[in-house]
Chain A
Amino acid sequence: MTVQGHNVSLHERARRIRCHALRMGEVQGQGYIAQALDIADVLAVAYFHAMRYRPEDPEWEGRDRFLLSNGHYAIALYAALIEAGIVPEAELETYGFDDSRLPMSGMASYTPGMEMSGGSLGLGLTIAVGRCLGLKRKGYDSFVYTLFSDGELDEGSKWEAMMSAAHYKLDNLIAVVDVNNQQADGPSGQMMGFEPLVDKVRSFGWFVQRVDGNDLNAVVAAFDAAKTHEGAVPRMIIADTVMGKGVPFLEARERNHFMRVDANEWKLALAALQDGSQP
């Protein structure tokens, strides 16, 4: 099964994003690799189906903005930026080392294509609201995408921003929530209950879709619907994902928020991705 209309299939894009992320993880011997694997499909759809941008000019005014709120997912976004041709693949070797443009937590001034400094969770949606207001002031038709994770819903600022996005009718805002049900201290829903998430956000006045975030066709359909929805309301895609997706022995691993991977396992993980390139 392939998604139609792409020269390189989205499956292949997602697989390569996973490979780039694993290679960066191997460079440091650690990292938020389970999250990178779970969100790779969403990033493949964002960068190779939904978004408008120019790889040779990452600050092009007409681009869609992508704000990574959960800065520790930088390893995933770097992988997407490499795949998109915004960051040279060779820089992958510098990930997390001194003076690299690819620090462990994403920061706006370090990396082409990184629109904000994340890391302190709860910032991204508030910035996105300002971006959307600014784009509307300028009369641009760009979308602002922002990615955050279920654990970030614990932060009150997320709900401040959700209220304001509906208040200001920000139909140029597409928020993507990665529900992998894992945060630093344990399963997200056990740390602080956030369900029923669809009902909650819908009651705030948003157009909300919930999809299997590792089903490329479903994710493509959700991005298409988010872009074309006719209401003057902000849009949210809630993506249920599986930590470590695509590498079975990592999917099965517990305590995977900040995953330790043994030196010999990186090669095994890459090999698993080669074998499983087509589901």
Chain B
Amino acid sequence: MKVTSSTTTSKQRLTTSAMIASIAAEGQPTRPAPFGHALIELARRCPEVVGMTADLGKYTDLHVFAKEFPDRYYQMGMAEQLLFGGASGLAAEGFMPFVTTYAVFASRRAYDFIHQTIAEEDRNVKIACALPGLTSGYGPSHQAAEDLALFRAMPNMTVIDPCDALEIEQVVPAMAAHPGPVYMRLLRGQVPLVLDEYGYKFELGRAKHLRSGDDVLIISSGLLTMRALEAAKKLEADRVGASVLHVPTIKPLDVETIVAACRKPGRVVVVAENHTIIGGLGEAVAAVLMRERVHPAFHMIGLPDEFLAAGALPTLHDRYGISTDAIVGSVKSWL
């Protein structure tokens, strides 16, 4: 990508989004460390729960668990292969490790270890990974644009992309109740609270209608459900009815609900995801619709197939089309 030199303007210059920065918009309600606190609740009920990380406890909200249960917490050093192999071993001895790192390191550095020692051996390991998709301004080293594609392709792996603090709190006990390996994308720090106003309840493997509208159906997961809901409100003000179907479980996919929603005539279908357009929710939904002979007007919003730029997240989200305004613009152009 060509980088041009920029001159100082009167406009406030945005700084590179740090890895510990919250993705919450200014004034948005949030909850602190929902994953860590939910894990503490779970661990109080389930003595087999242990926490493991590779030098990213503070950056994955596992530090609150470590403080509460220091003797159930394993710091494995900056060694992701060891982290996941070790988790397999602890699971083989009957424990339920919740393992955290960044999504890039789990999906890229440690893929074979998760594939062989956890998925193939069917070990009861729960993987929770921060910085999913484009939630870091550090560039490709920390931007996990491909993690859903990689873990979707792995047999025996359940894949979850939660939207907000409320959902993360509900996903943690659901992961524990599901026997076998689970990969969860993690939002950490001050995590936005969005779904409370929709009376939402997470169910593993189920897509949920969050709002209805007759002109466009947005199928989304994770951060992009948050954005889709904001976009839907703006579209409504412009008399565009936008339905939002939230699909937090990427695998197994809730085919029945998705197909039924897409069968409703007269709506443009848009799949929106915080992930490369290759191999994620968009292509998963497209394949399902082809198989079921359902052919609505179909569009995908996601990250381009390129190494993304470094910088400030608001800038990058605009540039790559996953900000609320960019989604509104795209949807209008497709109507």
Contacts and interface: CB of A to CB of B under 8 A. Distances in A.
Interface string A96-130: 00000000000111000001110110110111111
B116 A123 contact: yes
A128 B89 contact: yes
A117 B95 contact: no
A134 B90 contact: yes
A6 interface: no
Residue with the greatest number of chain A CB neighbours at <10 A, chosen from B87, B89, B93: B89
Residue with the greatest number of chain A CB neighbours at <10 A, chosen from B76, B91, B113, B120: B76
A133 interface: yes
Interface in B60-98: 74, 76-77, 79, 81-82, 84-95, 97
A117 B93 contact: no
Residue with the greatest number of chain A CB neighbours at <10 A, chosen from B74, B87, B113, B117: B117
A120 B112 contact: yes
A117 B121 contact: yes
Nearest to A129: B86
Interface in A52-97: none
B76 A164 contact: yes
Contact of B81 (A126, A128, A131): A126
A137 to B, nearest CB: 7
Contacts of A129: 82, 85-86, 89
B86 A127 contact: yes
Interface stretch (A153-161, A205-213, A214-222): A153-161
A133 B82 contact: no
B122 interface: yes
Contacts of A133: 74, 86, 89-90
Q: Which 5 A-B pairs have the closest CB atoms?
A: A130-B89, A126-B85, A134-B93, A130-B86, A131-B89
Interface string A155-171: 01100110110010000
A163 B81 CA distance: 13
B82 A107 contact: no
A135 B79 contact: no
Contact of B82 (A108, A116, A126, A134): A126
Given A109-B122, A117-B116, A160 B89 contact: no
Interface of A: 107-109, 115-117, 119-120, 122-123, 125-135, 137-138, 156-157, 160-161, 163-164, 167
Contacts of A109: 121-122
B93 A108 contact: no
A163 B120 CA distance: 26
Nearest to A161: B82
Interface of B: 50, 74, 76-77, 79, 81-82, 84-95, 97, 112-113, 116-117, 120-122
Nearest to A119: B116
Contacts of B77: 160, 163-164, 167
A132 B85 CA distance: 12
Given A125-B85, A127-B88, A160-B77, 13 more contacts: A109-B122, A116-B88, A123-B116, A123-B117, A127-B86, A129-B82, A129-B86, A131-B89, A131-B93, A157-B82, A160-B79, A161-B82, A164-B86
A161 B85 contact: yes
Contacts of A122: 81
B93 A120 contact: no
A198 to B, nearest CB: 23
16 contacts: A115-B92, A116-B88, A126-B82, A126-B84, A126-B85, A127-B89, A130-B85, A130-B87, A130-B91, A130-B97, A134-B92, A137-B50, A157-B113, A160-B79, A161-B85, A164-B82
Given A122-B81, A157-B85, A161-B82, A135 B121 contact: no
A138 B76 CA distance: 19
Given A126-B113, A132-B89, A133-B90, A116 B121 contact: yes
Contacts of A138: 93-94
Given A116-B117, A157-B85, A134 B122 contact: no
Contacts of A125: 85
B253 to A, nearest CB: 26
A127 B117 contact: yes
B79 A127 contact: no
Nearest to B112: A120
Contacts of A127: 85-86, 88-89, 92, 117
B178 to A, nearest CB: 19
A130 B79 contact: no
A116 B88 CA distance: 9
A120 B119 CA distance: 14
Nearest to A122: B81
A216 to B, nearest CB: 30
B301 to A, nearest CB: 36
Nearest to B97: A130
Contacts of A119: 116
A96 B311 CA distance: 54
Nearest to B83: A126
Nearest to A157: B81
A124 to B, nearest CB: 8
A163 B77 CA distance: 9
B24 to A, nearest CB: 36
Contact of A160 (B50, B82, B122): B82
Given A160-B81, A164-B79, A164-B82, A131 B113 contact: no
Given A117-B116, A120-B116, A126-B117, A131 B82 contact: no
B81 A134 contact: no
A184 B113 CA distance: 21
A122 to B, nearest CB: 7
A71 B94 CA distance: 23
